[in-house]
A and B are shown apart, each in its own frame.
Chain A
Amino acid sequence: MSFEPKILGIACNWCTYTGADLAGTTRLKYPQNLRLIRVMCSSRINPSFIIRGFQLGADGVLVGGCHPGDCHYGTGNLYARRKLAITRKILEFAGMEPGRFRVEWISASEGNKFAEVVGEFTNQVRTLGPQTKFKITKDGQ
């Protein structure tokens, strides 16, 4: 059986998650590999969520938020950008493939972009193969 990656998505309530809804209601196709978790703001994403996602078996993690300047709370995503940028560097220095982590700004009206990004990212992670570095294995306990 060909490898189907598990993608963890974490999306902000106001833009990306609504964008995902829009993609759904306009019946756009995107891969079913995504498990989407809704948070109120991209700045609510604790980098430990991302690490934990990889540990629990995610092959890729996709984070979505409002475009800078459009944050529902004004500046949340501007803080988030810094946090996620550092998270990315930490993952890389630990040895994680950079292609397994991605941040995208997707607005509520960008259902198309949402579907495209998910498709593209899923393909990219598929070529990277299963994520084994952080993933918890029973005998590793």
Chain B
Amino acid sequence: MKKIAIDQFSELVKVLAERGPLYAPVKGKEGVNFQAIKNPADVTLDFYNTVLSPKSVFFPQSEDMIRYRITHGATEAQPVPQESRPAVILGVRPCDVRSFEIMDRHFLGAGVIDPYWKSKRDNTTVIGFAFDVSAAADPADFYNTFGYGAADPEGSDVFMVRTDKALLLKSMTDRGKKLLDSLGFLQVAGAQDEKVFEETVKKGKAVRTRSAEINPQVIAKKLVSVFDNGEFWQKVTMACIACGACTYGCPTCYCFDISDEMLFKEGSRKRFWDACTFTDFTLEASGHNPRPRIFQRYRQKVCHKYSYHVDKYGCISCVGCGRCTRVCPVNIDIFSIVDEANKL
């Protein structure tokens, strides 16, 4: 294990940013969010969790796939080269770290490998960051439901714990080890630090978020059985205004749209986030919309995450980060809805 004094943190950031793309939490007007770091001083470790999820690092909101130009009688088209530089994402909370593995199942494990996700994921070292285990969890969080703790190192390449004076950095994978070994200026942590690290992980298990008994297989079947209970779905989604905030904030929502966008005969085919709650998500060219009602669309969201995803990939696609609830303009809370459905 390695460590670095907190007042040296900017050194670490500086080196990482010089080597290649570094994504880290930056404070903006709206709160803290992950950004590509240009100026090391921008990085902050003082945040509960980012407003939007870290998924944008591997799955940007908008991404060009092909660029083209239409000239006389011909179209020149070039696929956009994939990112191949080694990158680092620093400061990901434990629940969010788990989201990467869930997304992997979809983007890498579904029989078709998504090159856009893969290239970034393969080249990126994830530095997880424990929540403050002495503080209470945000009331919207419910990651305990999935058995996650506030300081679980699983899934990170390097896991970072903050103590009074230092940041402890423990490598969890080979990739993580390589990264730490390459940072010669880090101090070697002592036995006392190891103890603090272990204790933090343990204390993290005791941080309580909202939690419910939700067995993936059981809830998957349950939701199918209540699918036709329109009264239930209408009641729990009445307030939903069908925006995209919950989806865009969610670390495990991966739906996208593809569109050709051109200006003055030059353009690109791009993919960009879409949300199942939008009116036109399922709108067909004929004008027919199989999910015209808001409750149908929100039901899709819940069922996709908690039922279809279990059937297809063997796990729930939610990590209980609480973002959807926090960003929802009308406080729709997926946890309460799933919990209620579970009890029907």
Contacts and interface: CB of A to CB of B under 8 A. Distances in A.
4 contacts: A56-B263, A136-B263, A138-B266, A141-B268
Top 4 A-B pairs, shortest CB-CB distance? A136-B263, A138-B266, A56-B263, A141-B268
Contacts, number: 4
Interface of A: 56, 136, 138, 141
A56 to B, nearest CB: 8
Interface residues of B, number: 3
Contacts of A141: 268
Contacts of A56: 263
A3 B266 CA distance: 25
Contacts of B266: 138
Interface string B257-301: 000000100101000000000000000000000000000000000
Chain B at the A interface: SS class: strand
A136 B262 CA distance: 12
A108 B266 CA distance: 39
Contacts of A138: 266
A132 to B, nearest CB: 16
A136 B264 CA distance: 11
A115 B58 CA distance: 56
A43 to B, nearest CB: 29
Nearest to A136: B263
Nearest to B270: A141
B62 to A, nearest CB: 9
Nearest to A55: B263
Most buried by B among A56, A136, A141: A141
A136 to B, nearest CB: 6
B77 to A, nearest CB: 17
A53 to B, nearest CB: 14
A70 to B, nearest CB: 38
A53 B90 CA distance: 43
A119 B268 CA distance: 39
A48 to B, nearest CB: 16
Nearest to A57: B264
A62 to B, nearest CB: 22
A84 B36 CA distance: 41
Nearest to B62: A141
A141 B263 CA distance: 11
B194 to A, nearest CB: 48
Interface string B223-263: 00000000000000000000000000000000000000001
A52 to B, nearest CB: 11
A136 B263 CA distance: 9
